[in-house]
Structure 1
Amino acid sequence: MTERNEKHGTLHRAVDKTSDALGGMVGRAAANTAGSTSAASFVENAAIGDMYEIAAAKVALQHAQSDLVKAAALKMIADHTTSTHQLRSAMIMNETKGVPALPDSIDARRKTMLDHLQAAPADKFDATYLDQQILAHKETVDLMNGFKDSGDNAQLRSFAAGTAPVVERHLAAMERLRDQIA
């Protein structure tokens, strides 16, 4: 790699990381506003969050260098698949009008994060994945805790209350793992 390409790659990675961090802040702000009270917004954000987690974990299984990161990715797939099933069950049990069906595609913000993850060089992949996981789980913790406390739907508040501790454990595990491989 030429020095110019190497500098460009470093700059590009810095821009991607900054973009991911800003996206995480936007997501947390959204989770702390409408997502905290509106069932429709909560369902959309929770479902898209699960889709992102599963997609990012699949990328990590292909590209992670560390076996610990791969094991964490497997855990994310299992737990976020379970979360999606539980959310779907809460929706079926909850015949409240005005709560849309689960979305079937990821939003642009998280698609961009997945693109950044795919583009991460091998020697930076694990750190990029873990940084994104920390951002995503902080957002989801805010979403779950906000909705369980203030949500407008009892069934979905129950789902959020049961899911919040799992996501908090994920966040703590990702932070420990990030510190371990740093």
Structure 2
Amino acid sequence: MKNKIITISREFGSGGRTIGKETAARLDLPCYDRELLQDIAKESGFAEDYVSEAGEYAPGGFLSSAFSHPGANPNNADYLWQLQYKLITHLAQQGPCVIVGRCADYILHDKADCLRVFIHADMDFRAKRIVQVYGQRDASPEQRLRDKDKRRAAYHRFYTDMKWGHAQNYDLTLNSGTLGIDACVRILCDVYGKK
């Protein structure tokens, strides 16, 4: 039998990371988030900040992919993707867990018994939350949200050929702004237990 895994994709500022960690704690499961970055950085030899940034950018953008061909040499982003794919697959083989981000929903779609979750919220909720959690930056909170979500969507599309955040690609989508963080955690625990 395949291991039961919860994968959490999320809009920036929606609380998806918090929901993942709290869900894992309540279910007594390991949760992988920053730990993935640390392991990828260690194995690749790249700095953790570089791995984090590379994980949210589609390699080279449109022109690079438009002029590349199947025999082209892989770049750093492709190398990091391969490490990420291998690491997430390995973690899922070790036992039930929660994995936040990193396209785990796609990577594990045929390798584990996955509950694929997408966490979202409206712009006001997310803007207030990122100011509280991450502090104020030069850019407006709304612009930070748009930029981060745009990068995540492009990265996800590039490596999975799936539309990030599209409800049909997930088993469950939750609006953390409407439901609240705690209710999202309760729902995930309940669904996981019944799955």
Indicate the structure with greater helix content. 1
The TM-score with structure 1 as length reference comes to 0.30
Indicate the structure with greater strand content. 2
Higher relative contact order (CA 8 A, sep 6+): 2
The TM-score with structure 2 as length reference comes to 0.29
